[in-house]
Chains A and B, each alone.
Chain A
Amino acid sequence: MTRVPPSKPIRLPLLAVAAALAAAACGGGGGSQAAKPAKTVIQNKGSDTMVNVAQVWAEEYRKVAPDVEVEVSGGGSGVGLAALLKGAVDIANASRDIKPSEIEQAEKNTGKKPVGFNVGFDALAVYVHKDNPLSEITLEQLTEIYAEGAKTTRWSEIGVKIPGVSDDTIVRVSRQSSSGTYEFFREHALGNRDFRMGSRDLNGSKEVVELVGGTLTAIGYSGMGYATTAVKMLKVTSKPGSPAVAPTVAAVHDKTYPLARSLHVYTLGEPQGAVKQYIDWILSDAGQKVVEDSGYVPVPPDQRAKP
């Protein structure tokens, strides 16, 4: 909801309520920007993969437009989209495509169609501890490790000897089911098979890398932007025999890395006013530089679809 409180600061609580009501009355769209100093609040929620980059966007954008406050929170792509469908936030971040059922729900709830913009790319990296001798993995092996009904439970079964451990049971690190990363991995690495029960389902991209970095026998998946010195990113092969590809910017752009995906922001209906200006800025060179600096892959200039 875009709130434009009037300028008198003394009776703020009352006026804030009045402004909220007024904004609700005109459908939550950005009202005409008055000449008076006013603070516009943009609510932004969703993907944990994107929460870091979204926060930097918000901070950088404050320098460009001091009268706009962007409030960023995570929770997962599903949580962000669920909030958008109820009209609770202005922009939802999602590291997966919106589902047809979600579009339907939005139209039922608010009468508006969600509109999405590709704001960057992420390569989902497969992480192991830095002392793990493994350097590349096939999607088939990932399925054997992660999927329901699969049999691989020990590193020795795929020919890996972890130095200095007696029990080489693979510690599978996964994400909570509201995460876009979880759904993307299930779809693209496991061929939509379910995860086997018993993986550690963590609540954030950073937590996955932290746990893998602290556990010799762990394997996990997370955005490539979260790599640290304690972990190693594996090269991934989509088919046996084809070359293993490391998650790099070039491999994402030419689509040779099998676990690359688009990052999106969604709005209800075509973005208006301050929200439109913000998304325009995200897709500008300045906004895309933030994407690159955060460890993700920016959208090439000719592929940017501006609102």
Chain B
Amino acid sequence: MSPEDAPGPAPVSRPQRPRWAILGERAIEALIRLSGVSAILFVAAIFFFVLREAAPVVFREDFSLGQFLFSTEWYPTSANNVRYGTLALTVGTLSVTALAMALAVPFGLGAAIYLSEFCAPRVRETLKVVIELLSAIPSVVWGFVGLTVMSKLIVKLTGAPVGVNVLNGGIILALMSVPVIVSIGEDALKAVPDSYREAGLALGATRWQLVYRVLVPAARNGLLAAVLLGVGRAVGETMAVLMATGHAVHIPAGILDSVRTLTANIAAELGEAPAGSDHYRVLFLTGTLLFLITFAVNLTADFVVRGIRRK
């Protein structure tokens, strides 16, 4: 259904365009616009509903936001002294994410540089398919690997009493965020104009000098965005960390200590909390906190990417 090629707006009385075609086109236009706007709508709606479930407890007099954010005591079902402190959970999330990034960033950016600058086209295509495959593995499968294979390996190699801990969760999350970092990082490096490479080589730079003196600084924003999206992936991951981190609420003393993350805590406890109870609302408030953390990370990534476009 292609109208005649004519630049500018079509004349009103064109005999060969029936009314249903015009209406149909408008309808499709509206539909496309709707799908564009819907993403914003859904995000706003989700935030609204999560916050609405949490709101009644926030404005209660006996609820302290300070305790919620800065206490490590999480006793939602205590018989005589209920306390909702999420600091240990937040630290759990941050520690696992930090370790994951310490592992994933060098590997991810290294792989991105290799893919973009050093490897032969055929190898690149194969590697990209394999890396994409890595990102297609469901998180519950990663969790299972952490719980069975990795945990035994960690006990054997480090002598830790328990194999499900920060190290285990960090390695699993690193493996999950590497594909994100690689694919976005590679795009960022590819976006650097070839004239930069040619100029560098013409000045007598080695390939290594070219990479770290020219390409990485030029693609800096894109690479940072890749890392931040990897962080977002790691912070929001639930199932794998639920299975691999050992589920202990406390501030870890080292990487061989078990922790519980914000996401794992929600997943583990929401099923038991009676709808409308304080425990239920506090879990939604935890969800809001998590939402704000990932939102901040993604927004930063977005601003960084915008920085690239301006150039």
Report if A216 contacts B (CB, 8 A). Answer: yes
User: Which residues in A have their C-beta under 8 angstroms from that of B271?
Assistant: 75-76, 79, 82, 178
Report if B278 contacts A (CB, 8 A). Answer: no
**Roughly how many angstroms separate A183 CA and B274 CA in the complex, as a whole number?**
16
User: Which residues in A have their C-beta under 8 angstroms from that of B161?
Assistant: 167, 169, 171, 215-218
Knowing A76-B272, A105-B274, A192-B79 touch, does A171 contact B247 (C-beta < 8 A)?
no
Report if B141 contacts A (CB, 8 A). Answer: no
Knowing A82-B272, A200-B258 touch, does A194 contact B75 (C-beta < 8 A)?
yes
A191 (CB) vs chain B CBs: closest residue: B79
Report if A140 contacts B (CB, 8 A). Answer: no
Residues in B85-120 with C-beta less than 8 Å from chain A: 88
Report if A199 contacts B (CB, 8 A). Answer: yes
Q: Is the interface of B mostly helix, strand, loop or mixed?
A: loop
Query: Would B247 and A201 count as touching, CB distance under 8 A?
Result: yes
Query: Would B250 and A197 count as touching, CB distance under 8 A?
Result: yes
The range of chain A's interface size is 20 to 34
Other-chain residue from A169, A186, A200 in contact with B248 (beta carbon distance below 8 A): A200
Map CB proximity to A onto B155-188 as digits: 1 under 8 Å, 0 otherwise. Answer: 1000001101000000000000000000000000
Query: Would B162 and A194 count as touching, CB distance under 8 A?
Result: no
Report if B268 contacts A (CB, 8 A). Answer: yes
**Roughly how many angstroms separate A214 CA and B155 CA in the complex, as a whole number?**
10
Query: Would A82 and B247 count as touching, CB distance under 8 A?
Result: no
Query: Would B80 and A199 count as touching, CB distance under 8 A?
Result: no
Query: Would B72 and A197 count as touching, CB distance under 8 A?
Result: yes
Knowing A186-B79, A215-B161, A216-B161 touch, does A178 contact B249 (C-beta < 8 A)?
no
**Roughly how many angstroms separate A171 CA and B164 CA in the complex, as a whole number?**
12
**Roughly how many angstroms separate A79 CA and B78 CA in the complex, as a whole number?**
17
Report if A177 contacts B (CB, 8 A). Answer: yes
Report if B73 contacts A (CB, 8 A). Answer: yes
Report if B230 contacts A (CB, 8 A). Answer: no
Other-chain residue from A75, A171, A201, A214 in contact with B249 (beta carbon distance below 8 A): A201
User: Which residues in A have their C-beta under 8 angstroms from that of B79?
Assistant: 186-187, 192, 194
For residue A222, give the distance in angstroms from its CB to the closest CB of chain B: 15
B75 (CB) vs chain A CBs: closest residue: A194
Query: Would A176 and B81 count as touching, CB distance under 8 A?
Result: no
Report if B302 contacts A (CB, 8 A). Answer: no
Map CB proximity to A onto B247-291 as digits: 1 under 8 Å, 0 otherwise. Answer: 111100000001010000000110110100000000000000000
For residue B129, give the distance in angstroms from its CB to the closest CB of chain A: 36
Report if A198 contacts B (CB, 8 A). Answer: yes
Other-chain residue from B72, B80, B248 in contact with A192 (beta carbon distance below 8 A): B80
Report if B232 contacts A (CB, 8 A). Answer: no
Query: Would A197 and B269 count as touching, CB distance under 8 A?
Result: no
Map CB proximity to B onto A184-221 as digits: 1 under 8 Å, 0 otherwise. Answer: 00110000101001111111000000010011111000
A199 (CB) vs chain B CBs: closest residue: B248
A102 (CB) vs chain B CBs: closest residue: B274
Query: Would B249 and A82 count as touching, CB distance under 8 A?
Result: no
B79 (CB) vs chain A CBs: closest residue: A192
User: Which residues in A have their C-beta under 8 angstroms from that of B250?
Assistant: 197-198
**Roughly how many angstroms separate A176 CA and B265 CA in the complex, as a whole number?**
10
Report if B246 contacts A (CB, 8 A). Answer: yes
Query: Would B272 and A194 count as touching, CB distance under 8 A?
Result: no
Report if B200 contacts A (CB, 8 A). Answer: no
User: Which residues in A have their C-beta under 8 angstroms from that of B246?
Assistant: 200
**Roughly how many angstroms separate A198 CA and B251 CA in the complex, as a whole number?**
8
For residue A217, give the distance in angstroms from its CB to the closest CB of chain B: 5
Knowing A194-B81, A197-B249, A199-B248 touch, does A176 contact B268 (C-beta < 8 A)?
yes
For residue A7, give the distance in angstroms from its CB to the closest CB of chain B: 36
B82 (CB) vs chain A CBs: closest residue: A194
For residue B190, give the distance in angstroms from its CB to the closest CB of chain A: 44
Knowing A105-B274, A169-B161, A218-B161 touch, does A198 contact B248 (C-beta < 8 A)?
yes
Residues in A102-143 with C-beta less than 8 Å from chain B: 105
Most A CB contacts (10 A, CB to CB) among B164, B247, B272 go to: B272
**Roughly how many angstroms separate A76 CA and B74 CA in the complex, as a whole number?**
19
Other-chain residue from A76, A79, A177, A197 in contact with B76 (beta carbon distance below 8 A): A177
Report if B77 contacts A (CB, 8 A). Answer: yes
**Roughly how many angstroms separate A27 CA and B274 CA in the complex, as a whole number?**
23
Most A CB contacts (10 A, CB to CB) among B72, B77, B88 go to: B77
- A-B contacts, 6 of them at CB < 8 A, read A82-B271, A82-B272, A177-B76, A177-B77, A178-B77, A178-B272
| Chain B residues at the A interface, C-beta cutoff of 8 Å | 72-81, 88, 155, 161-162, 164, 246-250, 258, 260, 268-269, 271-272, 274
A-B pairs, top 4 by smallest CB distance, nearest first, are: A178-B272, A198-B250, A78-B272, A177-B77
